[in-house]
């Protein structure tokens, strides 16, 4: 059977809810389906995903594929690639969309190799070329300094999409058809066994509404405590928040790599990003282009971070932070 269409590979949270990236992919997926005259299909993968599949059917897709198996519990990438590949061969979509998330980044390159098709990662905009129907893939290049638009002939037209690049689609009242799909997978396909982490640190920078980010200017790891106090205050107002950092802090072992923002770290899109003692190198700034408001505190008025900041304080952060915190105490 071949359905074609635009296929969104959705994601589910640890709690079994639909992840926001799924709704963001459905939003751009709908636009692409309309401009290419194709159906919009969303697939969910996992074990015990019935509730999420029922729910996602209300978000504007033409059909939902529920790909369920106990082997899809957790993320064993070998098995997942086989499952997505199996569904791809069933549907043969013209366009295949995944999130630029940990899951998407694990699966997409392997799948692209298997399907022998070019993959464009980290797209921030997508359109269909009216002349030849091919996907126009926009993504930041050269450390985020410019945007590039790419186009390839091969099918499927395969991309991963940056989180928060598109507004999530709203829930509707109409429910589409849900089609169960039995993936042809078995244990022998597992080449790399996963082992449980002894202590797992969950840092959800990509979902944080406020990020207080530390740079080399904080001078000592003990000073992270001061930034954490600021974050705790801001979390009285924002629903979620995290500590972020520039790369030198990870290199020095002050914070773990999931905290790193930038080209080789996380791409973030909070409501508010406060950069403290961060110079604003292009590799760092590449990660914060999606932030709604950027506040920078830096003792050097020449620091490049001020070129992209909405608000800036030139001064020693040790002096600025107490005043900032005191004001927040008064108003929050
Ligand atoms: P610095 O550049 O040393 O800046 C420290 C700042 O703190 C200065 O501006 C200084 O004026 C200020 N300061 C000092 N004391 C105080 C004080 N008391 N109060 C207030 N301000 C003060 N970097 C990333 O962050 N993320 C990435 O993903 C990343 N990827 C990279 C990939 C590649 C291939 C390469 C080559 C580099 C990458 N980097 C990345 C590193 C990047 O180039 C910069 O070196 C790094 O971002 C600098 O970090 P920083 O701003 O904390 O430190």
Q: What is the number of the ligand 1 atom nearest to the C-alpha of 316?
A: 19
pLDDT-derived band at 208 (thresholds 50, 70, 90) equals very high
Looking from the CA of residue 246, the nearest atom of ligand 1 is: 25
pLDDT for the residue 241: 97
Residue 200's pLDDT is 63
How many CB atoms are closer than 10 A to CB 109? 15
Cβ-proximal residues to 104 (8 Å cutoff; 6+ apart), any chain: 9, 11, 21, 98, 160
Closest-CA residue, ligand 1 atom 52, reads 215
Closest residue to atom 29 of ligand 1, CA basis: 283
* 3-state SS, residue 259: helix
**Candidates 223, 243, 262: which one to mutate for ligand 1, based on the most atoms within 8 Å of Cβ?**
262
Structure tokens that stand for 76 in this block: 């064993």
**Residue 5: helix, strand or coil by DSSP?**
coil
Say whether pLDDT at 287 is over 80: yes
Q: Compute the mean pLDDT over every residue in the chain, rounded to the nearest whole number.
A: 94
Question: For residue range 69-118, what is the model confidence (pLDDT) as tens digits?
Answer: 999 988 889 999 999 999 999 999 999 999 999 999 999 999 999 999 99
Given this model, what pLDDT does residue 1 score? 64
Which pLDDT tens digit goes with each residue over 122-147?
999 999 999 999 999 999 998 778 89
- Residue 300 alpha carbon, nearest atom of ligand 1: 11
Q: Which two tokens stand for residue 24?
A: 């963001």
**Alpha carbon distances (Å) from 238 to 136, 226, 271, 332:** 36, 18, 9, 11
Q: What is the rounded CA–CA span in Å between residue 274 and residue 230?
A: 10
How far is ligand 1, taken at its centre, from the CA of residue 164, in Å? Answer: 25
Neighbours of 245 (CB within 10 A): 32
pLDDT band at 202, cuts 50/70/90?
confident
For 171, residues 6+ apart whose C-beta sits below 8 A from its C-beta are 58, 59
Q: Can you spell out the DSSP letters for 134-185?
A: PEEEEEEETTTTEEEEE---SSSEEEEE-TTSSPPPPP-S---EEEEE----
Query: Which residues lie below 8 Å from residue 3, measured CB to CB, with a gap of 6+?
Result: 39, 41, 63, 90, 91, 92, 93
Nearest to 307 by CA among 145, 142, 162: 145
pLDDT at 182 over 90: yes
Tens-digit pLDDT profile for residues 32-70: 999 999 999 999 999 999 999 999 999 999 999 999 999
Residue nearest to atom 53 of ligand 1 (CA): 216
Name the token pair of 220: 């000592």
The pLDDT assigned to 50 comes to 94
Burial of 328: CB neighbours in 10 Å, binned 0-12, 13-18, 19+: middle
Residue 235 scores a pLDDT above 80? yes
Give DSSP secondary structure letters for 246-284.
-HHHHHTTSS-GGGBBSTTSB----SEEEEES----HHH
When pLDDT is averaged across residues 251-256 and rounded to a whole number, the result is 95
Provide the pLDDT for residue 199.
65
pLDDT confidence of residue 117: 97
Radius of gyration of the chain (CA): 21
In this predicted structure, the answer to whether residue 195 has a pLDDT above a threshold of 90 is no
Fill in the DSSP letter of residue 38. Answer: -
Residue 196 has pLDDT above 90, yes or no: no
Rounded Cα–Cα distance for residues 316 and 226 (Å): 13
Give one DSSP letter per residue of 125-143, joined into a string. Answer: EEEE-TTT-PEEEEEEETT
Helices vs strands, H then E, count in the chain: 9, 15
């Amino acid at each position: 059977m071949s359905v074609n269409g635009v296929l969104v590979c959705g994601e589910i949270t640890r709690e079994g809810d639909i992840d926001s990236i799924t709704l963001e992919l459905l939003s751009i997926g709908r636009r692409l389906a309309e401009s290419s005259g194709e159906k919009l299909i969303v697939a969910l993968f996992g074990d015990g995903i019935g509730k999420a599949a029922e729910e996602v059917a209300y978000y504007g897709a033409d059909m939902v594929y529920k790909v369920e198996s106990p082997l899809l519990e957790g993320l064993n990438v070998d098995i997942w690639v086989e499952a997505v590949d199996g569904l791809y061969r069933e549907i043969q979509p013209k366009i295949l969309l995944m999130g630029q998330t940990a899951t998407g980044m694990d699966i997409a390159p392997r799948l692209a190799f298997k399907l022998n098709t070019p993959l464009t990662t980290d797209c921030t905009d997508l359109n269909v070329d009216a002349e030849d129907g091919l996907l126009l893939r926009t993504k930041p290049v050269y450390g985020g300094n410019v945007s590039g638009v790419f186009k390839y002939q091969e099918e499927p037209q395969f991309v991963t999409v940056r989180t928060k690049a598109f507004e999530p689609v709203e829930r509707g009242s109409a429910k589409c058809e849900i089609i169960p799909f039995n993936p042809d997978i078995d244990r022998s396909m597992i080449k790399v066994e996963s082992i449980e982490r002894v202590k797992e640190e969950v840092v959800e920078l990509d979902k944080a509404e406020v990020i207080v980010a530390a740079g080399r200017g904080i001078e000592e790891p003990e000073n992270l405590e001061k930034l954490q106090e600021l974050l705790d205050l801001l979390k009285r107002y924002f629903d979620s928040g995290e500590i972020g950092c520039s790369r030198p802090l990870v290199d020095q072992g002050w914070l773990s790599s999931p905290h790193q923002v930038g080209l080789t770290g996380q791409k973030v899109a909070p409501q508010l990003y406060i950069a403290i003692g961060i110079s604003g190198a292009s590799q760092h700034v590449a990660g914060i282009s999606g932030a709604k408001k950027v506040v920078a505190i830096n003792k050097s008025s020449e620091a490049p971070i001020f070129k992209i900041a909405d608000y800036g304080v030139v001064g020693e952060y040790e002096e600025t932070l107490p005043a900032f915190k005191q004001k927040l105490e008064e108003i929050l």
